[in-house]
Structure 1
């Protein structure tokens, strides 16, 4: 006999299915950008001091992120289908069963997908352009030649995979700054700065012996080795970002599709909003948000928002417009319940 999954188990099952696919879609988009880069064009523009032209030559446009856009759409629709599949039996006043279906072409569904994807991808592209501009300006001002400056951004072609690795394309502006600071620390030859590099949690620890030897010798790490070390550090940060996007966007898509699935039934008249409540469910994790832990079990009417201890109104976890401090890395979800007594009376 099949076990009936709890609400948390259903969410975990959906996340385990879709988060890896969204993560892979983001990496696919970055691979597409880097594999189509023509290094010579970027170097030529940098030699003329044309940083804008160098950025344009990388073809960082929203169309490159089509795989991510499609993956979000698929996860969103998957969440909607999963929601209606778990719907309890609804009946009309005559006692006949009401057919419940997920409508992916519903106006609210289409609007969420359009607005969410546009905001996400536009933000990624703009952040990329800012990060790359800073990296190019920093490299040239440091005295690196245009070729090395470009390679530090777009990555170097691996003899093993044939792909570009170790670049900063795909990283956030903050992550790109981490890579630049790590490079400074390794090239400084200063023991304190070299030790600070060893405190970076996403570093490749296989190079720690090299850094420790540099500390003992009181010398900087060689430039060629710095390229290798920071390249692996950048790859690790890219993996972190892909993991973060995969998880965050999955929860956003599932949370929105569940909310919209209920709204569709209310619009059809199969339910009334006052018959539905939603409860905040916190998923235990190593570094859980204390505010979300405090919200565990909070129940509100369908059309009302939850209230965080800091006063933030949250329609549901990962809802559009929810501040990053309440969304990024959050694994909370909503459990919706129908008051069948009220429905029967109606």
Structure 2
């Protein structure tokens, strides 16, 4: 008996959310731990910020595993969709076989273009964030070595791998780290309390910060580095989670749409016999525009009109604004009027 669409989507999300997040974080880990700190410091000593960035070797090839994971999610979504279609027979009594072509030229082209665009965006944003951090560090009068370490992270004695830093963060998240560091270094009670309001902070340091507020004493520089590093690590995990959730849903939704269209092209059923209904995750985290779309149904070739003005072919539509797809957990329920297809085939026979 076919699984419910919701069960299928939840199973796929559980698998590929983790797989994509781990692929992204592994890429960042490899970048950080392949860095030769001496080269970066030497270039910063010469005021060569661009040269320091180039020495970190943050390029598209570093994210190859992420591209592979996206392709796996896409292929699995298409296979699961056709595997979940009901069993049907043709007028001669033969079972109709629903298959998803993972080597479909259109699907391969979409995967190639989408992955290339995503990775380019990640790399460009990385370089922007790192340039901001390096420029700010030097402007504060920090020595080149400390500035470099604040960007690439420091080697942990426990893991012998780099932690902290801003590599992997978005440019916006790098600004969060910079402002958090400024709050901790200010020695100002109000600024320290502002840091305690940061959702992603490591709360194990709260008592130490609260004591500094009570005593009216500034935090030691090495402690500020530790606290900021842990805050940065938590933002990196959030970055991985959000990227994975968004890209998993984009890949799954696109592959499910492609899988249905492949069956239409193959003559297994017709587009006019298919309707698609928007289903939200049904909790308080659903964005208000998607709550409004919940339960709306349109033809196979129809689109959904968000209250924001955006037009979506399906949840996670890569052509829609980021505000409509980031972290989206909605899905489509496809309904095929098989009776209409049977009647049509019998008439043709």
* TM-score with structure 1 setting the length: 0.97
Q: Aligned match of 1:159 in 140, 157, 160?
A: 157
> What is residue 11 of structure 1 aligned with on the other side?
9
Q: Aligned match of 2:106 in 94, 100, 108?
A: 108
Q: Secondary structure of 1:279's match?
A: strand
1:67-115 per-position Cα deviation (integer Å, ceiling 9, x unaligned): 1111111111111111111122344454432222111110221022111
> What is residue 240 of structure 1 aligned with on the other side?
238
> What is residue 214 of structure 2 aligned with on the other side?
216
Q: Which stretch shows the higher mean deviation, 284-293 or 267-276?
A: 284-293
Describe how 1:60-75 pairs up with structure 2 within 5 A.
Answer: 60-75=58-73
Cα offset for 1:322?
Answer: 1.2
Cα offset for 1:295?
Answer: 1.1
Q: Secondary structure of 1:337's match?
A: strand
The number of equivalent residue pairs is 344
Cα offset for 1:333?
Answer: 0.3
Kept in 2: contact 1:281–1:296 (CA 8 A) = yes
Kept in 2: contact 1:90–1:270 (CA 8 A) = no
> What is residue 291 of structure 2 aligned with on the other side?
293
Q: Write the distance in 2 (CA, Å) between the matches of 1:310 and 1:17.
A: 31
Q: Does the alignment pair 1:46 with 2:44?
A: yes
Q: Write the distance in 1 (CA, Å) between the matches of 2:268 and 2:105.
A: 18
Describe how 1:101-180 pairs up with structure 2 within 5 A.
Answer: 101-180=99-178
Q: Flag as ranges the 4+ runs of structure 1 deviating above 4 A.
A: none
Q: Write the distance in 2 (CA, Å) between the matches of 1:5 and 1:264.
A: 21
> What is residue 35 of structure 1 aligned with on the other side?
33
> What is residue 227 of structure 1 aligned with on the other side?
225
- 5+ residue gaps, structure 2, are 345-349
- 5+ residue gaps, structure 1, are none
Q: Write the distance in 1 (CA, Å) between the matches of 2:114 and 2:90.
A: 35
Cα offset for 1:214?
Answer: 1.8
> What is residue 195 of structure 1 aligned with on the other side?
193
Cα offset for 1:270?
Answer: 1.7
Q: Does the alignment pair 1:329 with 2:327?
A: yes
Q: Does the alignment pair 1:204 with 2:202?
A: yes
Q: Secondary structure of 1:278's match?
A: strand
> What is residue 271 of structure 1 aligned with on the other side?
269
Q: Secondary structure of 1:22's match?
A: helix
Kept in 1: contact 2:31–2:57 (CA 8 A) = yes
Cα offset for 1:64?
Answer: 0.2
* TM-score with structure 2 setting the length: 0.96
Q: Write the distance in 2 (CA, Å) between the matches of 1:151 and 1:34.
A: 11
> What is residue 251 of structure 1 aligned with on the other side?
249
Kept in 1: contact 2:43–2:49 (CA 8 A) = yes
Q: Secondary structure of 2:315's match?
A: coil
Kept in 1: contact 2:2–2:85 (CA 8 A) = no
Cα offset for 1:309?
Answer: 2.0
Q: Write the distance in 1 (CA, Å) between the matches of 2:99 and 2:4.
A: 21
1:231-267 per-position Cα deviation (integer Å, ceiling 9, x unaligned): 0000000111111112111111111110000111112
